[in-house]
Homo-oligomer: A and B are copies of this chain.
């Protein structure tokens, strides 16, 4: 008769996609709470209720997991912004308005997102693969923004040549990024909606059109 001296952790088998998602989610939790350095394989495994060895079964190396997590964050923010567009009215100016305010409010403007983003950005300079991942995300965002800007300009009968819309996209992207940063880092010193409001006002000034009321062109 054999006594059960040690008990092995019971477990359930999960689909590959589910596990990957869980592991990425656990990684994001770690980074958000304790910085990139706090995202150790053991801590990640603990949060995912899994043993450390399993991580390597799904991700060849820890850096692969980290990279996947980065892409997940960026993708999530992109999707959230796109969702706001889906629910926006059909008017081009209203769509640009919705896009901007979505990026400057919850859940995109969140300290956790910034921690994640900053931790990864710090690696961009050293890791070429991360650099590629980042550039793609940045250009994708800016292109989407530029399209919105063009349509908004055309809607009020303003010229919208590529040379100008590119410049506008660069500037407005900067406004969004900058305000997003400020809000993530010190959201408590701003009134609710103040940053989104500030962003809209600044963007209206840059484009020379109104985004809220009717009638922008003279």
Residues of A whose CB lies within 8 Å of any CB of B are: 32-38, 111-112, 114-115, 118-119, 121-127, 134-135, 138, 167, 170-171, 173-179, 181-182, 185-186, 190, 194-195, 198-199, 201-202, 205-206, 208
Contact = CB atoms under 8 A, between A and B. Distances in A.
A121 B118 contact: yes
Given A35-B122, A112-B125, A202 B174 contact: yes
A179 B170 contact: yes
Nearest to A195: B170
Given A35-B126, A122-B35, A206-B205, A182 B186 contact: no
B185 A174 contact: no
A115 B125 contact: yes
A178 B174 CA distance: 4
B170 A182 contact: yes
Given A175-B178, A205-B208, A121 B185 contact: yes
